[in-house]
Amino acid sequence: MIPVFVYGTLLVGEANHHVVAPYVLSVQSGAVQGLLYDAGSYPALVLSGEHGESLVEGQWLMVTKEGLERMDELEEYYGPGKVNDYERVWIRDMLNGEREGWVYVWTDSRNCRLISRGSWRKHIREKQKSPTDVD
């Protein structure tokens, strides 16, 4: 089993969960420290930033090796030292300090809008209510 923290479209019930669903062995809630940004139809996590860090809500998916490979493809992660859209790094959960695993992150905000609540689900609900007035 490989632990991966997800915080956006790979969450259970979200747009890209089907990519990993056949490979998920278990799901647990969690949170990591960082900043969440709105990249349009998906979010991006940055582990440090100038605005200070907050908790980002998500889920820990325990997946098979094939599940990790499918997520690497989706996140355009080709390996260490390669040109990747997201980097895959090891992180510790802030709610359960004993839980740790992989997470996909950006190295900077790419000038995207900060999601102040730290929750993609809450953010997209607000976005659907009022597309011009969020966070």
How many whole angstroms separate alpha carbon 39 and alpha carbon 49?
A: 16
Instruction: Supply the DSSP symbol for 10.
Output: T
Q: Which amino acid is at 35?
A: L
Instruction: Supply the DSSP symbol for 106.
Output: B
Of 20, 7, 1, 18, nearest to 70 by C-alpha is 20
Task: Enumerate residues 6+ apart whose C-beta is below 8 A from 61.
Answer: 3, 4, 5, 6, 10, 20, 24, 26, 27, 67
Is position 75 annotated as part of the catalytic site? yes
User: Per the residue annotation, which of 53, 57, 73, 75 is the catalytic one?
Assistant: 75
Catalytic residue numbers, as ranges: 75
